[in-house]
Amino acid sequence: MFLFLFELLGGIRGAIVATAAAALAWGALTLHHTLFVHPGIHRAGVAEGKAAERLAWEIQMSILRAAYEAELKKAQAEIDLAALQHLEQRDRDVSRIQALEAVIAQESTDEKDNACPDRPAIPGGVSTQLDAIGR
């Protein structure tokens, strides 16, 4: 058959056409055989490929999940530290404010006892306590 095609089409061009026709025929027969004659083999290969891809995907997802959880723990630790620092600062401010209120109360009782027009606008004790608080 190939010899007939070779003579029919002539020379090298005929050989190329005959080879291409044979390759197409072989591909079509292989595809037909895979899909219709033995479809179980094809389905098994597809199922095996799906399983392999699923396993690879699950591995990648577990790696990404572990990295995300580590990042999340780090961020939560930073948030916890900031909250603790805020609470400590608030506790220090409470004690300073109480000390300031005590000084203000003392100054107001002193002011009632000794009315003196030469005193500064902010008494010394109040000024010192305000400086300690930073206000």
Residue (of 131, 126, 125, 129) closest to 96 by Cα position: 129
User: pLDDT category, 23, cuts 50, 70, 90?
Assistant: confident
Burial (CB < 10 A; 0-12, 13-18, 19+), residue 130, is middle
What would the two tokens of residue 69 be? 């959880």
Q: Which tokens is 13 given? A: 């061009």
- The average pLDDT across 50-75 equals 95
Has residue 115 got a pLDDT over 60? no
Measure the CA dihedral 83/86/87/93, to 10°: 180
pTM, full prediction: 0.40
The set of residues, in sequence order, having a beta carbon less than 8 Å from that of 34 and lying 6+ positions away, is 41, 42
Angle of helix 11-32 relative to helix 2-9, nearest 10 degrees, comes to: 140
Can you list the alpha helix ranges (DSSP code H) found in the chain?
Answer: 2-9, 11-32, 39-113, 124-133
The pLDDT of 10-29, averaged and rounded, is 76
**pLDDT at residue 1 greater than cutoff 70:** no
